[in-house]
């Protein structure tokens, strides 16, 4: 019977305030996005490269050179696929075989995707030992799987390579 005009006026003011706050939030978000998109990256700024395993023996080290032929990547398989975001990635799978007389506590593998023009399209430094497996005993082997992200969608690939980059030995 009787309408409360005060209640209706209060509801209208509340709706107007909420609408104004929503528009303000959207406007601030749009300004931040536009500003971020217009900022050019600083020259020389690049993503932080993986440092690799501490205390690893690498190319040029006499111990690495002595044992690198006795640590083999066997049963290698390479292929490309789309990840869950639809981006292209390369995969390398196989086994790391330890034919040395020492326990291996760390293995670094460098994966590369090479384009038709010979350029490196994507690269990764992976450490399946110790990140996935604790160690490889003498005469033993462990499987590995290395994923190389950032492969351009339209690029023609010539090769996918995987190389032994570093070793950490146990005593």
* CATH assignment at residue 136: 2.60.40
Q: Tell me, yes or no, whether 147 and 73 share the same domain.
A: yes
Q: Tell me, yes or no, whether 115 and 139 share the same domain.
A: yes
Q: Tell me, yes or no, whether 137 and 110 share the same domain.
A: yes
- Tell me which of 156 and 47 has the higher pLDDT: 156
For residue 23, the enclosing domain spans 1-43
Q: Tell me, yes or no, whether 26 and 77 share the same domain.
A: no
Quick one: average pLDDT of 4-26?
A: 84
Q: Tell me, yes or no, whether 11 and 92 share the same domain.
A: no
Quote the pLDDT of residue 23. Answer: 94
pLDDT tens-digit profile of 97-136?
999 999 999 999 999 999 999 999 999 999 888 888 899 9
Q: Tell me, yes or no, whether 76 and 23 share the same domain.
A: no
Which residue matches tokens 């305030």? 17
Quote the pLDDT of residue 40. Answer: 54
**Model-level pTM?**
0.66
Q: Distance (Å, rounded) from C-alpha 74 to C-alpha 38? A: 48
pLDDT tens-digit profile of 45-96?
444 445 788 889 999 999 999 999 999 999 999 999 988 888 899 999 999 9
Q: Is residue 164 part of a domain?
A: yes
pLDDT tens-digit profile of 22-31?
999 999 988 8
How many domains does the chain fold into? 2
DSSP one-letter code for 86: S
Q: Tell me, yes or no, whether 19 and 102 share the same domain.
A: no
Residue 38 pLDDT > 90: no
Picking from 96, 102, 110, the residue whose alpha carbon sits closest to that of residue 67 is 102
Task: Decide: residue 144, CB within 10 A, 0-12 exposed, 13-18 middle, 19+ buried.
Answer: buried
Picking from 93, 109, 104, the residue whose alpha carbon sits closest to that of residue 67 is 104
Task: Classify 150 as helix, strand or coil.
Answer: coil
């Amino acid at each position: 019977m009787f309408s409360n005009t005060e209640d209706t006026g209060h509801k209208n003011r509340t709706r107007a305030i909420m609408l104004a706050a929503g528009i303000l939030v959207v406007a601030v978000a749009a300004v931040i996005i536009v500003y971020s998109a217009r900022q050019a990256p600083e020259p020389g700024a690049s993503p932080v490269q993986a440092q690799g395993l501490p205390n690893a023996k690498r190319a040029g080290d006499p111990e690495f050179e002595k044992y690198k032929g006795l640590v083999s990547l066997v049963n290698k398989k390479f292929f490309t696929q789309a990840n869950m975001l639809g981006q292209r990635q390369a995969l390398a799978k196989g086994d790391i075989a330890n034919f040395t007389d020492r326990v291996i506590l760390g293995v670094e593998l460098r994966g590369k995707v090479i384009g038709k023009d010979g350029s490196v399209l994507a690269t990764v430094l992976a450490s399946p030992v110790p990140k996935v497996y604790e160690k490889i005993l003498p005469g033993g082997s462990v499987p590995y799987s290395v994923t190389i992200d950032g492969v351009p969608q339209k690029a023609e690939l010539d090769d996918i390579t995987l190389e032994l980059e570093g070793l950490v030995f146990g005593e």
